[in-house]
Amino acid sequence: MIKFGEEGTYEDEWEDEKSKSQVKRELLALKELGKELLKLPTKDLDKLNLSERLYEALLKAQGMQKGALKRQIATVGGLMVHENYDEIKESVEKIRQEHNGQIKQFHQLELWRDELLAGDNDVMTVLRNEFESFDMQHVRQLVRNANKEATAEKPPKSSRILFKYLQQCQSEQS
């Protein structure tokens, strides 16, 4: 170890070392990513390239509560040290974006259904242009039935059928 002189200084040997605070921040980031992984359903966890130990730890944590969950999250964070953090974070972000896209589509279908039930005929034209297999006669019948059910204070069976029909049209389009 060279402390002083022309060859280098004592500080030069420690430049590559991380501070204790930096290590804590990185471990906290791993723990937070572990928490995000816990929120994902099993089908999404299957899409990720996780080690078997981490995958099993995540599945085990899904049924835990309070103190046990806190300890398991710490375990998951510890296992995350051996994983490719950046790759997992990117994959989780892609899954989140897919999920957000599905939610937007769902809300759009709900909006169309509500507008149809409110009697907005312009939506019929939009839907006919949007979906090739759109059957206006069938939709009009469902809207009439849904309005009858609403005035008779019956369960909204036709409204549900209308929503499923719109979903079907959308899935055929994709």
Range of the domain at 148: 95-173
Q: How many domains does the chain have?
A: 2
Q: Is residue 89 part of a domain?
A: no
Residues 4-17, mean pLDDT to the nearest whole number = 57
Same domain, 62 and 117: no
Residue 4 lies in a domain: no
Taking only the tens place, the pLDDT of each residue in 24-82 is 888 888 888 888 888 888 888 888 888 888 888 888 888 888 888 888 888 888 888 88
Q: How far is CA 143 from CA 59, 74, 86, 110, in A?
A: 44, 53, 49, 14
Q: Is 29 found in the same domain as 79?
A: yes
State the DSSP code for 3: -
Q: What is the CATH number of the domain that holds 157?
A: 1.10.60.30
Q: In this structure, are 43 and 65 located in the same domain?
A: yes
Q: Are residues 146 and 117 in the same domain?
A: yes
**In degrees to the nearest 10, what's the CA dihedral of 166, 172, 173, 174?**
110
Q: For residue 141, with 0-12 CB atoms within 10 Å meaning exposed, 13-18 middle and 19 or more buried, which class applies?
A: middle
155: left (phi over 0), alpha (psi -120 to 50) or beta: beta
Q: Do 71 and 112 lie in a common domain?
A: no
Measured on CA atoms in the order 152, 156, 161, 162, is the torsion positive or negative? Answer: positive
Mean of pLDDT values over 137-144: 91
Q: What pLDDT sits at residue 4?
A: 47
Is-above-0.85 flag for pTM? no
Instruction: Note the pLDDT tens digit of each residue in 79-123.
Output: 888 888 788 888 888 888 888 888 898 899 899 989 988 888 888
